[in-house]
C-alpha cells in the first residue's frame, strides 16, 4: 500500500505533461504555468505551457527509476515518504528549469 504513494505523482505528471503539450490551458488565471513572464502575452503563455509540459514529462521520466527502486525495497511508510520527497524535489526542478528556459528563450528573441 505504501509503495503506491510513489506511483501517483509520476502518473499525474505524465497526464498533465501530455495535456499541457496537446491542449495548453487558456490564459484565464485559473490553471497553467503562471509566472510574471508567462502572462505577459498570449504568445509567451503558449510557449511557457508547452515548455512546462515537456519539463513535466522529463520529470516523470526521472521519477520512473525511483518508482522501480521503491518497489524493490521492503514496504515501509518511511521509505515511501523519502521517495515522495525526492519526487517533489524533481517537480520543483521542473518548474525552476522551465522558468530559466523561458527567460532564455525570451532574451534570445530580442
pLDDT in tens, 6-28: 788 889 999 999 999 999 999 98
What pLDDT score does 87 carry?
86
Question: Which domain covers residue 8, as residue numbers?
Answer: 4-24+32-109
What CA–CA distance (Å, rounded) separates 70 from 29? 37
pTM of the model: 0.84
Nearest Cα neighbor of 1 from 86, 79, 64 is 79
What pLDDT score does 77 carry?
80
Give the model confidence (pLDDT) of 45-99 as tens digits.
999 999 999 999 999 998 888 888 888 887 778 877 888 888 889 989 999 999 9
Handedness of CA 91, 8, 86, 62 (dihedral sign): negative
Residue 1 pLDDT > 80: no
What pLDDT score does 2 carry?
65
**How many domains does the chain divide into?**
1
Amino acid at each position: 500500500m505504501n509503495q503506491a504513494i510513489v506511483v501517483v505523482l509520476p502518473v499525474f505528471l505524465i497526464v498533465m505533461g501530455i495535456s499541457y503539450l496537446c491542449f495548453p490551458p487558456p490564459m484565464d488565471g485559473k490553471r497553467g504555468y503562471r509566472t510574471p513572464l508567462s502572462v505577459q502575452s498570449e504568445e509567451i503563455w503558449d510557449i511557457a505551457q508547452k515548455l512546462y509540459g515537456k519539463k513535466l514529462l522529463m520529470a516523470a521520466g526521472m521519477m520512473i527509476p525511483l518508482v522501480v527502486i521503491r518497489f524493490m525495497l521492503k514496504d515501509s511508510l518511511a521509505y515511501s515518504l523519502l521517495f515522495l520527497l525526492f519526487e517533489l524535489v524533481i517537480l520543483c526542478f521542473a518548474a525552476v528549469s522551465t522558468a530559466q528556459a523561458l527567460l532564455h528563450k525570451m532574451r534570445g528573441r530580442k
